[in-house]
Amino acid sequence: MRRVTGAREVKAGRVLIGPKKLGAGYARIVSERDGSGRIESFNLVSKKWFQAPDSVTFADVWSAPAVPFDLVPEFSESA
């Protein structure tokens, strides 16, 4: 499954880490079939996950505090 978000194509993957609170938003690490990974950020307006900007690193997401997915109202319509 593939979806296009803006200019960046995002493929379905498995969420490994997240959601994590990162600044004023949320981020997660998603694994790809080939073993690579990507970082996604949650858009609070559209309530969807998008590829995170290059300024967000795996170390940033890994060390950020965890957020219980079911307790955050913003995530309720993103599934």
Question: Integer distance in angstroms from the first to the last C-alpha of the chain?
Answer: 15
- Judge contact between 39 and 54, C-beta under 8 A: no
Q: Residue 21 belongs to what domain range?
A: 13-68
Residue 79 lies in a domain: no
Distance (Å, whole) CA 40 – CA 53: 8
Residue 44 lies in a domain: yes
C-alpha dist (Å) from residue 52 to 1, 42, 61, 71:
19, 8, 11, 22
Which pLDDT tens digits describe the chain residue by residue (79 residues)?
444 444 455 566 787 888 899 988 899 999 988 888 999 998 888 888 899 999 999 999 999 999 876 766 666 654 4
pLDDT at residue 57, as a whole number? 94
The number of folded domains in the chain is 1
Torsion region of 48: left, alpha or beta (phi above 0 gives left; psi -120 to 50 gives alpha): beta
Q: What is the pTM of this model?
A: 0.72
Residue 73 lies in a domain: no
Residue 27 lies in a domain: yes
Distance (Å, whole) CA 62 – CA 57: 9
